[in-house]
Amino acid sequence: MARVNIAEAKTNLSRLIEDALSGEEVVIARRGVPLVRLEVIENAQPRRLGAARGLVEIAPDFDAPLDDLSEYR
């Protein structure tokens, strides 16, 4: 298990991520008190652009002035 302080984690984040990916437990501490643990996200998939295509419709008059606000002009 790797336990590092915040300053060291800032400096060596890439190495710590690689350590976590290789199965090592990485804990980040402040003044010796553990705060967070780096953990691998299993089955992480990147977002796919256009995934909501066809699910959202915008009305043709979406930018028309609202009747309720006519008194504020």
pLDDT tens profile 12-52: 999 999 999 999 999 999 999 999 999 998 887 888 898 88
Range of the domain at 9: 1-41
Beta-sheet strands, E only, within the chain:
2-5, 26-30, 33-38
Tell me, yes or no, whether 20 lies in a domain. Answer: yes
Q: Total structural domains in the chain? A: 1
Tell me, yes or no, whether 18 lies in a domain. Answer: yes
29 touches 4 (CB < 8 A): yes
Three-state SS at 11? helix
Query: Sorting pLDDT into bands at 50, 70 and 90, what band is 4?
Result: very high
Tell me, yes or no, whether 71 lies in a domain. Answer: no
Residue-level pLDDT at 45: 83
Q: Are strands 33-38 and 2-5 parallel, antiparallel or unpaired?
A: unpaired
Tell me, yes or no, whether 66 lies in a domain. Answer: no
Nearest residue to 27 (alpha-carbon basis) of 6, 12, 49, 52: 6
Q: Which helix (H) or strand (E) holds 4?
A: strand 2-5
Q: Is pLDDT above 70 for 61?
A: yes
